[in-house]
Amino acid sequence: MKKCGVMSAILLAAILLAGCWDQRELGEITVVTGMAVDKGENDKYILTVEGINATELNNRTASGFAPSIVYSAEGNSLAELTYRVNEGMSRHLIYSHMRTLIIGEELAKEGIIDFIDFLERNREIRDDFNILIAREAKGSDVLKVTYQFQKSTSLKLHTQLDTMMKDWGGDPGVRMNDVITAWTAPGRQPVMAAVRIKGDPEAGASSENMMKVTPDALVVLDSLAIFKGDKLEGFLTLEDSRNYLWIQNKIVKTSITAECSENKYMGLRVYDTRTKIKGKLENGKARIKIMIRAEAYIDGTHCNDQFDKAKTYEENGEIAQKQINDMVTKTIEKVQKEYGTDIFGFGEVVLRQDYQNFKKVRNNWDEKFADADIQVDTTLIIRRTGIRTKSFLKEVK
């Protein structure tokens, strides 16, 4: 028995000491927070990664050097490139904290489906990073622009998009798995947020950019990129992007402006909204009914309305209601006419609610979508008006 013990101890020690296979010391790694894929010049892709210089991100240890390092490598498969970038970077790259994937417009137009498989299959990369299109720019350039607070673009964008979505709703909140679901599930086409560089990309790629009050370059959320299959079809405005979210029932809070009388506007803060969609196929024509229910408070008004009567609330509510109805309808019509691609997932709704009929049109749903009969029905209730009921505008001498 003693022999057995000694032998097993030796065996165990040998196995364990040969081990530490997956061990990565913190000193040996660089955390990648952002990744950009562009069309390659010779090969299929150019992969750009942004590795964080953690010392610079920490206020106590920062000393003013560049907050991150951005490096590109060219090749045919992302799976290989993620390790090839070490040709220029010293440490192991850790992709588990990747927050942002930026795809160059040029590549998006040609199709992106090929490399997404790698992102889904890889165990390290999380499934829920932001996936963005760089409008009129290269993805790699977007990654290089520095920023005052989070310093690195990818972290900045991650926070920015999140904040935007919660406060106003310009970011469609699309993560990688949403894109994949849109591709695989019938009756939906993917969308992505699109960003643009405002200013000079060259000047943005230095740490001086962070030190200015008005940075030379800034990455701004620009629009909503819509896809047909895996190919970029076009861009919708930020307003449309918000309306898209509204249809998706993803609005947390938003603000709208409604015309209360001629050339006079009021601002409403919408804080609680639900959207329900009903869809069915009637005689081969799709009928979609969108019901939006919202609650809001008046955040500012140019008009002289006195909010001490229930009636005033109702009147203003109706104005806002109509405004929302128009906005949403316009967005849907635009997509129907110009692109004919069902980014709203109405097909999914029909699939759930009228499966037997949907099965017949499954393969040409986008056509059905283009001439679908869509009806938007909004109910908006104004609950309160800030900390004033009457406006001082009436009292002004």
Partner 1 sequence: MLKENISLSQLLTLLINFLLGSAIVVGVGGDAKKDAWIAIAASIMFGFGIMLFYYFLISRVPGKNLYELMEIGFKRPLAIIFSNIYSVYFLYLASRVVRDFGELIASAILPSTPIEIISLTICLLMAYILYLGLEVLGRTSEIFTPYLFGFLFLLTILLFASGNANLHEIKPVLGDGLKPVLNALFPTLIVFPFGELIAFTLILPVVTNFKYCLRVSLLGVAIAGALLLFAMFLMIVTLGADALLRSNFPMLSSAREVSIGNFIERIDALVVFIMMLGILVKGSVFMFAGLKGLEYTFRLPYRYFSLPVAMIVSAYSVLISVNFGDHWQEGLEMVPYFLHLPMQFGLPSLLLIAVLWKKRKKKAKPGTKGMKF
Partner 2 sequence: MSIIKSLLKMRKKKEYPVQIEEAAVAGPDLKSMNLEQLKEKVKAEFGSTVDLSMDELKTEGKDALLIYLTTMIDTKLLKETILQSISGKEDGFKLTTEDDLKSLCKGKFGGAGYQLIGSFDEIITSLLYGNIIILFKDMEKALSLSMAIGEDRSITEPSTQTVIRGPKDGFVESINTNVSLLRRRIKNRNLRFEKFIIGSETNTFVYIGYMEGTANEKIVGEVRKRLGQIKVNAIFESGNIEELIADKSATPFPLALNTERPDAVASNLLEGKIAILVDGTPFVLVVPAVLVDFFSIAEDYYQNFMMGSFLRIIRYLSFMIALITPSLYVGILTFHHELLPTPLLLGIIAQREGVPFPAVIEVLLMEVTFEILREAGVRMPRAVGQTVSIVGALVIGQAAAEAGIISNIMVIIVAIPAIANFVSPTYSFAAAARLLRFLLIIVSAFLGLYGVLIVLVFIVAHLSSLRSFGVPYLSPVAPFLIEQQKDVFFRFPIWSMRKRPAYLKTQNPEKFPKTGSPSPPPMKGDQSN
Binding site for partner 1 (CB under 8 A): 15, 19, 21-22, 96, 120, 123, 126-128, 177, 180-181, 184-185, 351-353, 355
For 282-326, the DSSP string reads: ETTEEEEEEEEEEEEEEEEESS---TTSHHHHHHHHHHHHHHHHH
As a whole number of angstroms, the distance between CA 85 and CA 302 comes to 56
Helix axes 310-334, 238-247, angle to 10 degrees: 100
Q: Which residues of 92-128 are buried (b: 16+ CB within 10 A; e: fewer)?
A: ebbbebbbbbbbbbebbeeebeebbeebeebeebbee
At its nearest, how many Å lie between partner 2 and the CB of residue 254?
Answer: 27
As a whole number of angstroms, the distance between CA 180 and CA 340 comes to 20
At its nearest, how many Å lie between partner 2 and the CB of residue 150?
Answer: 9
Give the one residue of 35, 52, 232, 266 binding partner 2; rule: CB under 8 A. Answer: 52
Is 396 a binding residue for partner 2 by CB under 8 A? The answer is: no
Is 42 a binding residue for partner 2 by CB under 8 A? The answer is: no
Is 65 a binding residue for partner 2 by CB under 8 A? The answer is: no
Half-sphere exposure of 129 (CA within 13 A, CB side): 25
Point out which residues pair with 46 in neighbouring strands: 38, 74
Is 63 a binding residue for partner 2 by CB under 8 A? The answer is: no
At its nearest, how many Å lie between partner 1 and the CB of residue 241?
Answer: 19
At its nearest, how many Å lie between partner 1 and the CB of residue 362?
Answer: 11
Is 55 a binding residue for partner 2 by CB under 8 A? The answer is: yes
Name the residue nearer to partner 2 (CB basis): 4 or 213.
4
Window 12 to 31, contacts with partner 2 (CB under 8 A): 16, 19-20, 22-27, 29, 31
Is 363 a binding residue for partner 2 by CB under 8 A? The answer is: no
Give the one residue of 40, 57, 228, 239 binding partner 2; rule: CB under 8 A. Answer: 57
Name the residue nearer to partner 1 (CB basis): 186 or 199.
186
Q: Which pair of tokens denotes residue 4? A: 């057995």
At its nearest, how many Å lie between partner 1 and the CB of residue 188?
Answer: 11
